[in-house]
Amino acid sequence: MKPARNLSVAFILIAAGCLLLVGLAQWSDSGIGVGGVFAGHTKSGILVLVSRLIGAMGVIWLGWFALNLAAAIMSIAAQLQPDNEHHSKASPNVAQTFTIRAFRFGSVINKLTAAISGRLSAYSDRIADLETQIEHLQIQIQLSKSQKRNIEAIIYSIRDAVIVTDESGRLLMANEAAGRLFGFDYRDSQHKPVADLVGESKREFADLLSRVAQTKGKVKRRQIDFLEAEKPKSFDCIISCVHDGNEQVCGVVAVLHDVTREKEIAQMKNDFVSHVSHELKTPLASITAYAEMLCEGEAQDEQTRKEFYSVIHDQADRLNRLIEDILNVSRIESGLIKVEKKPVSLTMLMQEQLRMIKGYAEEKNIEVISQKPIVFDRVAVDKDMMSQVIVNLLSNAIKYTPSGGSVRIESEVDELARVARVRVTDTGVGIPEDEIERVFDKFYRVQANKNQAKGTGLGLNLVKQIVEKVHSGRVFVTSKPGVGSTFGFELPLATAEALETV
């Protein structure tokens, strides 16, 4: 196009130049002196003719060019106004253009202008609409993103492990707990097959997920055990299907709740119940056996009969004490006992219990030593419970100390540790090192000392529950077999406010 255009431009310029020359020549002929310079050159007739020819050709070419231009504009107008009945073809016929359009050229220009303006305003309206739509869509996108973030945040913050997969077992979403439990990056594992993410050791879980997807809708609940960070744990796993709008299964969601602690507690309860039943059956076995012997006449003399009655009596007593202790311990453990904490002087409690135990100590010829009372040890405690603690420790000390020995009770206030401390030391049989950890366990009785004295095995457990669970204190024990033991407890000192509310 360019060389042709350049050629056209050059031709136009040459033609224009010739016209100018012709004009000037004419002018000089008519006597006006300005064109005198050219007069000599344009005297030749041929030159004038050639110039006039080129000029005419130039005019004709210009005209042609103008007409083409008009035709092009026409066709544009036609394209913009498809309802114009005169334009069915895009390219104009020259004759048509010249003869018909020439007269209508003016109105067509007007129509063209109107059409173009109309189009432009229509387009600009359209653009404005689209811009508004884009704005709305952007707002929608932001909203959706923020909703997605909210939902993710909710799921991520759930402490139970949550895993969502599609219907073919590929991960869609998982929270931090799930990532930690199964050992994968919860933010970065989208679309990976869950079976690969959870690993071979947790294959059972992956299989469960795919089974639920296949059964389309039946919720599965299973207890699954596996290792989390080397520790064995139990999980209550509930798996359900995710349904899309058309009730079709489009995914599976699994929630794993850690029930390790609950399981432990249930096991402990079970153990306790069977332990208790065993403990209760033991004195009962003696009672029934001796009672039967008496009924069958197997006690052949008065002495034996007396002996048997006495055993029945003692064992019934033992059974009763056992039941009382078990109930006490259970009630304290389950928090059912009403606790009334008041500021009390420990020394005063100690004095009270010492008075009560005096008889028992004298019977066994055991010296009981107590220190000079401390005037000011301030603890907020339940009086009855603390009395029970002190009497248990004192009676144990006397029980397991052979005749001629001694038992010492003392208390102190440790300002630094903010505790009041009580210690009961005896010169008794002591406790072997391998058993000392267990003396506070329910029903535990030191093997070597079992036949030394009667005991339910619950006394120390009761002490521990009262001191630690009810009063937030601490029990402790040290012992040396053959030398003696020291049992003690610490209680937090009462605050000034507690003391004021008497």
Partner 1 sequence: MTGKKVLVVDDEIHIVHVVAVKLRNNGYEVLTAANGAEAYTLTCDEKPDIIVTDYQMPLMTGLQLVQKIRENDAISDIPVILLTARSFAIEDDQRRNLRISECLSKPFSPKELLRGIEDVLYRQTVTQS
| Contacts with partner 1, residue ranges (CB under 8 A) | 274, 277-278, 281-282, 284-290, 292-293, 296, 298-300, 304, 311, 315, 447, 450-451
Given a contact cutoff of 8 angstroms between Cβ atoms, the answer to whether 94 and 71 are in contact is yes
Nearer CB in complex with partner 1: 301/497 = 301
Nearer CB in complex with partner 1: 105/272 = 272
CA distances (Å), origin 478, targets 35, 439, 465: 140, 11, 19
- Judging by DSSP bridges, how do beta strands 406-414 and 367-370 pair with one another? parallel
The C-alpha angle with vertex 32 and arms to 28 and 35, in degrees rounded to 5, equals 45
Tokens at 298, concatenated: 């197997």
Q: Which amino acid is at 14?
A: I
Nearer CB in complex with partner 1: 305/342 = 305
| Cα–Cα distance, 339 to 211 (Å, whole number) | 53
Query: How far apart are CB 440 and partner 1 at their closest, in Å?
Result: 18
Query: How far apart are CB 483 and partner 1 at their closest, in Å?
Result: 23
Give residues with Cβ within 8 angstroms of 27, minimum separation 6. 34, 35
Query: How far apart are CB 397 and partner 1 at their closest, in Å?
Result: 23
Nearer CB in complex with partner 1: 172/453 = 453
Nearer CB in complex with partner 1: 94/285 = 285
Give residues with Cβ within 8 angstroms of 226, minimum separation 6. 201, 202, 205, 232, 233, 235
Query: How far apart are CB 232 and partner 1 at their closest, in Å?
Result: 24
Packed helices 346-363 and 383-399: angle between N→C axes, nearest 10 degrees: 30
Which H or E run includes 284? helix 260-295
Return left, alpha or beta for 403; rule: phi > 0 is left, psi -120 to 50 is alpha, else beta.
beta
Nearer CB in complex with partner 1: 38/272 = 272
Query: How far apart are CB 290 and partner 1 at their closest, in Å?
Result: 6
Nearer CB in complex with partner 1: 158/287 = 287
Which H or E run includes 133? helix 102-157
Query: How far apart are CB 292 and partner 1 at their closest, in Å?
Result: 6
Nearer CB in complex with partner 1: 315/456 = 315
Query: How far apart are CB 190 and partner 1 at their closest, in Å?
Result: 51
Query: How far apart are CB 310 and partner 1 at their closest, in Å?
Result: 10
| Cα–Cα distance, 358 to 409 (Å, whole number) | 13
